[in-house]
Every structure is written in C-alpha cells, then in structure tokens.
C-alpha cells in the first residue's frame, strides 16, 4: 500500500494525512475484493523496517491500526470477513495486542473474505522465526528427525492457513517487494500500478485483475501449444 506520503505531499499535507486516507482505501479494497470474489486478501500495513521512521509517524501508524480495528470490526464482521494479523507480535504494545486478539477471535467463524493484515511484518523475519521453530523441533526429535520439506517451512510461516498469493499488487509505481511474502510469492504474478495507495479503488483493482487475467502462468513448466493464443 505504497504512496501515502507522496499523495499527502502533493496536496501540501503531512504524511499522517496520507496514511489516514490510506485507511479509507483499505476499506474500499476490502469491499471491492469481496465483490470481485477474491477469497484471500493480505494488506501490508506496517513492516518490521517501518520502526525506523520518525517517532510521530510510527505513533500515527499504530494509532491507525487501533482506529481501524476499533471502528471497522463490527462492519467487517457484519460482512462476514475473517481477520488475521500476520507479523511478529513480540514487538507490539499490550493495547494493540488486545485489539488484534479481539478482532481475530470475534471474526474467527466468519466464512467470507479472509483478510490478513501484515503488521510488524517482514518476510525475512517471518522465515527466520519459522526456521527457529523447525530447528527446535528437529533438536527435540533427535535421531528420529525427518528431513525438512518445503511444506514444513510453509506450515511454520505466519501465513500457514493462507494459500500462496496468485497476485501481488504494489501501488505508487515502485517495482520492488520490500520484504513482503518472499517465500509465498515464489510464483505470484506482480502488477505495479501507477496510482498512489489513497487513490486505490475498485477500478484500480479491476485494472490489476484484468492484467492478471492476461498473463500465462507456467509455474516453471511450459505453455501447452493448445493454450497459446495466436
């Protein structure tokens, strides 16, 4: 969800104004994803590297997370959205942890869109934590330890209950992953949109989905001759 700061700066406003508008865009994205029949949506709200931002911006982003969960939980639940938060919880304050636990437990039985909020999330950190748990498991199993498989690693990631993404969308024209779902996005399609995140809406989602639909996915294989459009 990139471009909040630039969107605000282009209006002569502080970065916090862009992040606030970014929350509105999250609401639009969740609604539009549900309407488009998407079953899993993961939004990157705060990275493990975002702590290096100025203290007031970090405070604003923490505040927006609290605001979003407090203000939107009832409506998200009414719309059957299942919320999960991925990322390292050990660095989060007690009040945010409490809100995250409430959001997850209150929405647990919902069967609609699965909304993952990546918060204090970094893919390398997630993989490191997963490997640490696997090492503990291997040590405990001793001589009986089985070789580690890709499935073992996937099962230890924060996204264990979420299928790998088919499509990764990044706004603001930047073309990098910034430590997002590095393992899970191995065969994802990438769409980089020129819009700033606060301008994201159902039309931009449609643009990304149309682009996705035009791609041929090969997963390392080859395209069958019958599937090639001439």
Handedness of CA 32, 34, 38, 43 (dihedral sign): positive
User: Residue count at the site for ligand FPP (CB under 6 A)?
Assistant: 20
Catalytic residue check, 50: yes
Q: What is the DSSP letter of 45?
A: E
183 three-state secondary structure: coil
Q: List, as one string, the DSSP characters of 77-93.
A: HHTTPEEEEES-GGGS-
Give me the phi and psi of 121, to 5 degrees please.
-110, 135
Tell me whether residue 100 or residue 130 sits nearer to ligand FPP (CB atom).
100
60 binds ligand FPP, rule: CB under 6 A: no
65 binds ligand FPP, rule: CB under 6 A: yes
Tell me whether residue 3 or residue 87 sits nearer to ligand FPP (CB atom).
3
34 three-state secondary structure: helix
Tell me whether residue 62 or residue 188 sits nearer to ligand FPP (CB atom).
62
43 binds ligand FPP, rule: CB under 6 A: yes
**End-to-end CA distance of the chain, in Å?**
36
Shortest CB 98 distance to ligand FPP, Å? 16
Q: Contact with ligand FPP (CB under 6 A): which of 16, 17, 22, 180?
A: 22
Shortest CB 44 distance to ligand FPP, Å? 7
Handedness of CA 118, 121, 127, 129 (dihedral sign): negative
Give me the phi and psi of 33, to 5 degrees please.
-65, -45
Cβ–Cβ < 8 Å for 202, 35: yes
String of contacts with ligand FPP for each residue 112-141, x by CB under 6 A: -----x------------------------
Instruction: Report the catalytic residues.
Output: 2, 50
The residues of the shown chain that bind ligand FPP, judged by CB under 6 A, are: 1-6, 19, 22-23, 26, 43, 45, 50, 61, 64-65, 68, 117, 172, 197
């Amino acid at each position: 969800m990139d471009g909040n700061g630039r969107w605000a700066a282009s209006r002569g406003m502080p970065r916090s104004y862009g992040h606030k508008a970014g929350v509105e865009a999250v609401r639009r994205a969740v609604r539009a994803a549900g309407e488009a029949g998407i079953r899993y949506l993961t939004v990157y709200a705060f990275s493990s590297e975002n702590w290096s931002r100025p203290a007031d911006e970090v405070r604003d982003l923490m505040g927006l997370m609290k605001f979003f969960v407090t203000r939107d939980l009832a409506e998200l639940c009414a719309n059957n959205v299942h919320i999960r938060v991925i990322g390292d919880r050990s660095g989060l304050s007690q009040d945010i942890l409490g809100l995250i636990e409430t959001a997850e437990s209150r929405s647990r039985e919902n069967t609609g869109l699965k909304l993952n909020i990546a918060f204090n999330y970094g893919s390398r950190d997630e993989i490191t934590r997963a490997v640490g748990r696997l090492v503990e498991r291997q040590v405990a199993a001793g001589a009986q330890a089985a070789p580690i498989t890709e499935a073992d690693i996937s099962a230890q990631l924060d996204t264990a209950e979420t299928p790998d993404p088919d499509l990764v969308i990044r706004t603001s024209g930047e073309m990098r992953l910034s430590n997002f779902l590095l393992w899970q996005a191995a065969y994802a399609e990438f769409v980089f949109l020129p819009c700033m995140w606060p301008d994201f809406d159902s039309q931009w989602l449609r643009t990304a989905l149309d682009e996705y639909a035009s791609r041929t996915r090969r997963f390392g294989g080859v395209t069958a001759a019958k599937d090639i459009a001439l």
